[in-house]
Structure 1
Amino acid sequence: MSASLKTNFLGFDYENPFMNASGVHCMSTTELDELANSKAGAFITKSSTPNDRTGNPSPRYVSVPLGSINSMGLPNKGIDYYLDYVLDRQAKYPNEAPIFFSVAGMSVDDNLSMLHKIQNSNFNGVTELNLSCPNVPGKPQVAYDFELTIEILTKVFDFFKKPLGIKLPPYFDFAHFEIMSDILNKFPLTYVNSINSVGNGLYIDVEKESVVIKPKNGFGGIGGEYVKPTALANVRAFYTRLNPSIKIIGTGGIKSGQDAFEHLLCGATMLQIGTELQKEGVSIFDRVTKELQEIMDKKGYKTIDEFRGKLNSL
């Protein structure tokens, strides 16, 4: 009998731990339907802002040999578009596994107003607050500003009573893992999603002696194979520091079943795929589930829980 990829998250059994990363293949209802009908265990909406945004000028996303570089600028159709979609889907498919809903305001007030809207709606899925977007020009992104992170989460949990996770940027210092974990452990978070892209990389076209994306003079977030070691480190660092009630969604550099296995070994419960989904389309979920199952069968694991988080040290 083949290994089971069933994953329990918030009391619901998902068929497998795989999802899209917010921002990839989730802009329109058509793309969201394709995710819902794919082999992905769950899916998440495009990070929404209070109103629709066209985002940054193109080219703003470029596939490069070991991943991608992007500076999208949060293009999306606005919170009402996605909220209408998820509420409609809930009504049509009441037994479907809960949907993930992402918000990423351009300011603290944006985030609070959108979370109020979700709190007051009939949405019964999981909300993800993206704290790894830039906030104020001249300031670091929110999750690199520890005082602002405390302020936002305090305000959010004053009124928000539904399941809430947060998306984090990568951290690179043990001191920052410690500080952020101490902050997050004070709040009733459902999960931490780690990592968003590694910020402000630069990719160069040698033939043209030029950058490859237009916004920010070519500086953009790096994703794909480039970031997997950083993603694994962040998943592991938070898994070993956060309260066990706060689950980890592992994101970054997943393009094969082996990559998925490594994220799970580090302690992730769910897994999001971004760059490779952009390159391959929703058929990737069929491939990576089979590859993960083959690895588990070869190792004699019947369930993911048998090895999740059990990474050995030397």
Structure 2
Amino acid sequence: MTAVLKTEFLGQKYENPFMNASGVHCLTVNELDELKRSKAGAFITKSATTLERAGNPEPRYYATALGSINSMGLPNKGFQYYLDYVVDYQKNDSDGKAPFFSVAGMSRDENINILKIIQRSDFQGVTELNLSCPNVPGKPQVGYDFQMTEQILTQVFEFFRKPLGVKLPPYFDFAHFDIVANILNKFPLAYVNCVNSVGNGLYVDAASESVVIKPKNGFGGIGGDYIKPTALANVRAFYTRLNPTIKVIGTGGIASGQDAFEHLLCGATMLQVGTALYEEGISVFERLEKELKEVMTQKGYKTIEEFRGQLRTL
């Protein structure tokens, strides 16, 4: 018996559930094309702002023994750069790996304006609205302002009719899971992406008695092994609280086939890889695909749907 990783998501069929996490290996057309040619089932663009941004000063990423810390500051080539790419891809490629389009305005008005342009555009794919960037100095995460989150989504769905998902920050309290799920269930969202990095961690180099990244005096988003339990908790919390029509993408700490299996078991449909992709490069997808098949075969599963969401409790 050979395990099969074929995945259906929003009516589209993918060879496997793996994607890059927005922000990793997706800044330029060349990087996006490398993802297209990789073993990833799908891929997503860098979160775009209206105008090009250089991002925060370097060093702004640091690998640690258990993951990473970063404060990138939304470096991107600007909204039009990525819109041109995804529209051109849609017209000229039929490989079934249509890119998701991530956007992250610096204000509510900017988000609305960007989404209005997408609604009017020829792009018919999936848009992801990033409500959870923790690394822009002076800009709080929208996802932690519940009233603002509801206001933005209310305004968006007055005009937006294309598939839209939201990328969420990690939540840490059952009350917050309940509040956010109640808000999200009011809207025809395609999916939620759980989670962005755990914001404003601090990593200290004891030898130099210093922080390791320059922006924000060393404070940055934590990713990798550190955050897998938090990511799994958020995947499970929203999988069990959201309307069944709202799918969950699992992101956080996926560096092995077992990590992927755990996210799927908790209820994720697609999986995004960040730190492991940054450290290993696009060959990570081939390894993850192989390892996930091995885990499934050992457990006697032929398809993901046989176990997705079937986490047991004691």
TM bucket normalised to smaller: over 0.9
Q: 2:56 is matched with which residue?
A: 56
Evaluate the alpha carbon distance shift between residue 207 and residue 134 of structure 1 in structure 2; reply closer, same or farther with a 3 A threshold: closer
TM-score, normalization: structure 1?
A: 0.98
- Greater than 6 Å deviation, 4+ residue runs: 135-139
Mapping for residues 149-188 of structure 1, pairs under 5 Å: 149-188=149-188
Evaluate the alpha carbon distance shift between residue 200 and residue 297 of structure 1 in structure 2; reply closer, same or farther with a 3 A threshold: same
Question: SS at 1:159's partner residue?
Answer: coil
- Say whether 1:202 aligns with 2:202: yes
Q: How many angstroms does 1:134 deviate by? A: 5.3
* Residue type at the aligned position of 1:77: K
Evaluate the alpha carbon distance shift between residue 43 and residue 135 of structure 1 in structure 2; reply closer, same or farther with a 3 A threshold: closer
Is the 8 Å Cα contact of residues 9 and 269 (structure 2) preserved in structure 1? yes
Mapping for residues 260-299 of structure 1, pairs under 5 Å: 260-299=260-299
Mapping for residues 1-314 of structure 1, pairs under 5 Å: 1-94=1-94, 96-133=96-133, 140-314=140-314
Is the 8 Å Cα contact of residues 106 and 135 (structure 1) preserved in structure 2? no
* Residue type at the aligned position of 2:80: D
Tell me, which stretches of 5 or more residues in structure 2 are unaligned? none
Residues 208-251 of structure 1 deviation map (CA, whole Å, 9 limit, x = unaligned): 10000001000000000000000000000000000000000000
Residue range with higher mean Cα deviation, 93-102 or 115-124: 93-102
Tell me, which stretches of 5 or more residues in structure 1 are unaligned? none
Aligned residues: 314
Distance 2:257 2:87 in 1: 32
Residues 246-281 of structure 1 deviation map (CA, whole Å, 9 limit, x = unaligned): 000000000000000000000000000000000000
TM-score, normalization: structure 2?
A: 0.98
* Residue type at the aligned position of 2:307: F
Distance 1:123 1:136 in 2: 28
Is the 8 Å Cα contact of residues 56 and 75 (structure 1) preserved in structure 2? yes
Distance 1:104 1:235 in 2: 21
